[in-house]
Chains A and B, each alone.
Chain A
């Protein structure tokens, strides 16, 4: 089955800086989603971008989608300590979604 794959696996940045993480996938999709997981918790949905969209914003989040390259990026601007978490992309496959292995983001004070 296809699976989104995030890059980098881990990322540490200073508070206030921007964080960018990427997701690549293998086959065509209808939409791509990003989720956040705080340590020891369930996943929380952040944003969904459809295949006919190129960019989407939600607060400090900006997601882009390039279907020709089969890739997406998640940008978090002006990072905060509370953004420390793992971030997963998820791509659709029939009537379910498949998650990548995630990027662990650590915001340094």
Chain B
């Protein structure tokens, strides 16, 4: 039982390049989330998927797209990376959404630098 896995762990991009961050969970959770964390900040929600087949914007969705590929996998795509997207990205999952009465399980993070 690996929990939540993310790939890659580190990535350096040049401005304008694109990439996809992968996330998978093996806990049969319905809900999945993408956050970014910047120094001195909490986690800011980028996009989430309350259940398979649905996705919704969070606080900071601009410059990102997501795909809930199946129940296990939720990917985050940067179409044209910008230096402002330099951050640590975390994927999380929870059993259910619905007023979030369920704990979230986090992946180890992807450290992305855009030059």
Given contacts A41-B109, A45-B105, contact A99 B100 (CB under 8 A): no
Q: CA A95 – CA B100 in complex, angstroms?
A: 6
Tally of A interface residues using CB under 8 Å = 27
Q: Which residues of B contact A97 (CB under 8 A)?
A: 100, 104
Q: CA A3 – CA B92 in complex, angstroms?
A: 18
B42 contacts A101, C-beta separation under 8 Å? yes
A43 contacts B43, C-beta separation under 8 Å? yes
Q: CA A50 – CA B100 in complex, angstroms?
A: 11
Q: CA A102 – CA B98 in complex, angstroms?
A: 24
* CB nearest neighbor in B for A48: B103
Q: Which residues of B contact A88 (CB under 8 A)?
A: 42-43
Q: Is the interface of B mostly helix, strand, loop or mixed?
A: loop
Q: Which of A55-99 contact B (CB under 8 A)?
A: 88, 90, 92-99
Assess whether A42 is interfacial by the CB under 8 Å rule: yes
* CB nearest neighbor in A for B33: A96
Assess whether A31 is interfacial by the CB under 8 Å rule: yes
Tally of B interface residues using CB under 8 Å = 29
Q: Which residues of B contact A45 (CB under 8 A)?
A: 103-105
Q: CA A31 – CA B103 in complex, angstroms?
A: 11
Q: Which residues of B contact A30 (CB under 8 A)?
A: 99-101
* CB nearest neighbor in A for B4: A42
A1 contacts B59, C-beta separation under 8 Å? yes
| B99 touches which of A3, A95, A99, A100 (Cβ 8 Å) | A95
A98 contacts B101, C-beta separation under 8 Å? no
- The residues of A with any CB-CB pair to B shorter than 8 Å are 1, 3, 30-31, 33, 35, 40-45, 48, 50, 88, 90, 92-102
